[in-house]
A and B are shown apart, each in its own frame.
Chain A
Amino acid sequence: MRGLVLLAALVAAAAGTETFVGHQVLRIIPTSDEELQKVQELQDLEELQLDFWLAPRGLGHPVDVRVPFPSLQPLKAHLEANGVSYSIMIEDVQELLDQEQMEMLRGRRQMPITTNTFNYASYHSLDEIYTFMDLLVAENPNLVSKLEIGRSTENRPLYVLKFSKGGTNRPAVWIDTGIHSREWVTQASGVWFAKQIVLDHENDKDLASVLDKMDIFLEIVTNPDGFAFTQTQNRMWRKTRSKQSGSICVGVDPNRNWDAGFGGSGASGNPCSETYHGPYANSEPEVKAIVDFVKNHGNIKAFVSIHSYSQLLLYPYGYTRTPVPDQKELHEVSAKAVAALSSLYGTNYKYGSIITTIYQASGGTIDWTYNQGIKYSFTFELRDTGRYGFLLPAKQIVPTAQETWLALKVLMLHARDHLN
């Protein structure tokens, strides 16, 4: 019998297809030294053809092992006889593969050919978003252009869409989404904003009046390395993906890496922390690229950095309790923007300075932009307030983007009306 199985395996290998029918993936979490030893010994039992997806590392660390069908019964009996408990993570590996294959084919068939067939009500991969940008530019070459402002740590291009009706170095609005990669509703909203600008730039009188005097810059995937990582490895990844010397931990919080109160209270000096500020200000190429862009442009009048979740509209400062000189005006504009946002679906937002509304945070984006003289510096925290948190259902993307856009228009109009 075993000879036949071996033969079948050889034949399958020769044919180039391997089948995983009936294979299961078991999870064992050793909680005693004996258990750990028994599990480690399994690695030497070659005839079982076990495939360790997570090798034994120590007590409390899960061990995941793919078990070919013929080895299931003997392995389980062995584990049970030795008092090693396990759970079945995947009942049938082949079934899961078939399902995944189906979904991928389905997805591929839906690859957009125009921005009119793009599905705004679903989450997309980095490639799909970059394709969308090129399509948008190709369809609207007189309004939209794409700029590369730098490269990420892993050498991914950092793209900014520029919406302009002409002129030279006009005063401008900057909007970024996706600086924290796990905040998926923000990149998805950025895509929607881009399309909306194209749709409305002539018939919406508010948007048209903004574009008559100002350009709009939109960076949709501000942290592409992190975004790719959330799609392939860890959906909850927040930071960049830069290696940190002297640590096994990876990444810097891009919203603690700016040169405003850098390294002070409200950020962590520990590379393993989610709010690690980095070795020095602007160490992250994703941040440096924006800093260079803003300084070189020299005429940015409004800067909005978009995050999720909590449903807040925030203005500086985060690093100090000292109110900004323009506190009164920023507070009033925020009130108007939030009222516009709520008017659509009744979504409740709070607003105020970062430090009084959310928490102390140093080295933040809009603290730096404000100190550069960009008075209208704001941060949004989009839906929701915790029910789904980062895992906001795709069906909420469009409503979120729609209501946020109303608030953005208030901010842009105010900037336009206060150009000096």
Chain B
Amino acid sequence: HKYHLELELEDVLDKDSTVNCTAEVLYHLGNKNIAPDVQFKLEGELKNTDEADNVFYNRIKSLEKELVAENIPDNHGNVSPEMEPIHLLAWVASGYVIWQNSTENTKFQLAQIKHVKQVKRSDEYLEFDYKILLHEMLTQEIIPWQMTVLWHPQHGVEVTRDSRQPKEASE
């Protein structure tokens, strides 16, 4: 099935900043293991985030020990200011994972970052190993997922590895 969408994108960090967008989404019949095709066109420009990107990039680059964190947001919905970019990065990366695993009968959201650890690299990229929880609306399931995320201010986000994880027995 093919869908034609007219969307308004709203900047999560600035509700007054919006951009219109048109998209075509094609869900493949039969083989549910192929991600839907997405074509889109932005009618306008996304905000420039170079400054914030560089601040975050330099902060992480200058850490003495690799970053490690858990439960973002915490159980009460709190995200510390230092962890906000880590949270946003997970949102973007989980968007890719969600796209790759979507069908016409799924609606995924990132529920929580259970664990994130930075992986040391010798090149200029930042690498993070995330364990996230995805919430699927129709089944109401909470699905643990691992994703390895590369990021660089000029080169953007890439998910280099991702895999569904088994659920713990206590859950």
| Chain B residues within 8 Å of A391, by CB | 73-77, 111-112
Residues of A within 8 A of B77 (CB): 388, 391-394, 396
CA A191 – CA B3 in complex, angstroms?
43
- Asked if A89 meets B70 with Cβ closer than 8 Å, knowing A234-B171, A236-B133, the reply is yes
- Give every chain B residue within 8 A of A359 (Cβ-Cβ): 137-138
- Whether B75 and A238, one on each chain, are in contact in the complex, defined by CB atoms closer than 8 angstroms, is no
Q: Are A60 and B73 in contact, with the CB atoms below 8 A?
A: no
Which of chain A's residues have a CB closer than 8 A to the CB of B74? Answer: 391
> At the interface, yes or no: A45 with Cβ under 8 Å from chain B?
no
- Contact indicator A61/B166 (Cβ below 8 Å): yes
Query: Are B171 and A236 touching (Cβ within 8 A)?
Result: yes
In chain B, what residue has the closest Cβ to A182?
A: B142
**Interface flags, B110-134, vs A, CB<8A=1, else 0:** 1110010100000000000000010
Given the known inter-chain contacts A274-B142, A275-B140, A389-B135, please indicate yes or no for A235 contacting B75, CB distance below 8 A. Answer: yes
| B170 adjacent to chain A (CB < 8 Å) | yes
Contact at B111–A393, with CB atoms within 8 Å? Answer: no
The residues in A between 376 and 403 inclusive whose CB is less than 8 angstroms from any CB of B are 386-394, 396
Q: Closest CB of chain B to A333's CB: distance in Å? A: 26
Asked if A233 and B170 make an inter-chain contact with CB atoms under 8 angstroms apart, the answer reads yes
Q: In whole Å, how far is B44's beta carbon from the nearest beta carbon of chain A?
A: 22
By the criterion CB–CB under 8 Å, are B76 and A236 in contact?
Answer: no
- The residues of B that contact A392 with a CB separation of less than 8 Å are 77
Please count the residue pairs between chain A and chain B whose beta carbons lie under 8 angstroms apart in the complex: 70
Instruction: Across the interface, name the chain A residue whose C-beta is closest to B163.
Output: A60
Q: How far is the CA of A273 from the CA of B171 in the complex (A)?
A: 11
Given the interface contacts A234-B171, A389-B111, does A273 sit within 8 Å of B141 by beta carbon?
A: yes
Question: How far apart are the CA atoms of A248 and B167 in the complex, in Å?
Answer: 13
List, in ascending order, chain A residues with CB within 8 A of B12's CB.
Answer: 387
Minimum distance in angstroms from B160 CB to a CB of chain A: 17
Residues of B within 8 A of A230 (CB): 75
Given contacts A87-B68, A274-B142, contact A393 B73 (CB under 8 A): yes
**For window 302-333 of chain A, which residues contact chain B by CB distance below 8 Å?**
310
Residue interface bits B32-76, CB-to-A below 8 A is 1, else 0 = 000000000000000000000000000000000000101001111
Which applies to chain A's interface (DSSP): helix, strand, loop or mixed? loop
Q: How many interface residues does B have (CB within 8 Å)?
A: 28
Residue of A nearest to B74 (CB): A391
Q: How long is the Cα–Cα vector from A122 to B76 in the complex, in angstroms? A: 8
Q: Is the CB of B170 within 8 A of A234?
A: yes
Complexed CA–CA distance, A358 and B135 (Å)? 15
> Out of A234, A237, A390, A394, which one reaches B111, CB within 8 Å?
A390
Contact with B along A322-348 (1 / 0, CB 8 A): 000000000000000000000000000
Task: Find chain A residues with CB under 8 A from B29 CB.
Answer: none
Q: Using a CB-CB cutoff of 8 Å, which residues 126-167 of chain B contact chain A?
A: 133, 135, 137-142, 165-166
Contact present for B137 and A236 (CB under 8 Å): no
Residues of B within 8 A of A233 (CB): 170
**Is the beta-carbon distance between A60 and B76 smaller than 8 angstroms?**
no
Q: A391-B75, A391-B76 are in contact. Are A273 and B70 (CB under 8 A)?
A: no
In the assembled complex, A52 has its CB within 8 A of some CB on chain B: no
- B70 contact set on A, CB distance < 8 A: 89
Point out the residues of chain A lying under 8 angstroms from B76, CB to CB. 122-123, 391, 393-394
A390, B135: Cβ atoms closer than 8 Å = yes
- Chain A residues closer than 8 Å to B170, beta-carbon distance: 233-234
Q: Select which of A88, A237, A248 is within 8 A of B169 by beta carbon.
A: A248
Given A123, A386, A393, which contacts B109 in the complex, CB threshold below 8 Å?
A: A386
Partner of B166, one of A60, A88, A236, A386: A60
* CB-based contact A388/B73 at 8 Å: yes
CB distance from A380 to the nearest CB of B (A): 16
| Chain A 87-115 interface 0/1 with B at a Cβ cutoff of 8 Å (1 = within) | 11101000000000000000000000000
CB-contact partner of A87 in B75, B117, B142, under 8 A? B117
A contacts, CB < 8 Å to B: 57, 60-61, 87-89, 91, 122-123, 230, 233-238, 248, 253, 268, 273-275, 310, 358-359, 386-394, 396
Across the A-B interface, the 10 shortest Cβ-Cβ residue pairs: A393-B77, A274-B140, A386-B109, A391-B77, A391-B73, A236-B142, A235-B75, A392-B77, A234-B171, A274-B141
Apart from A89-B68, A89-B70, A273-B141, what are 17 other A-B pairs with CB-CB below 8 Å? A88-B68, A89-B115, A91-B68, A233-B170, A235-B112, A236-B111, A236-B135, A275-B139, A310-B137, A387-B12, A388-B73, A388-B77, A389-B109, A389-B135, A390-B135, A391-B76, A396-B77
- Would you give 25 A-B contacts (Cβ < 8 Å), ordered by A? A87-B115, A89-B68, A89-B70, A233-B170, A234-B171, A236-B111, A236-B112, A236-B171, A237-B171, A248-B169, A274-B140, A274-B141, A310-B137, A358-B137, A359-B138, A386-B109, A388-B73, A389-B111, A390-B111, A390-B135, A391-B75, A391-B76, A393-B73, A393-B78, A394-B77
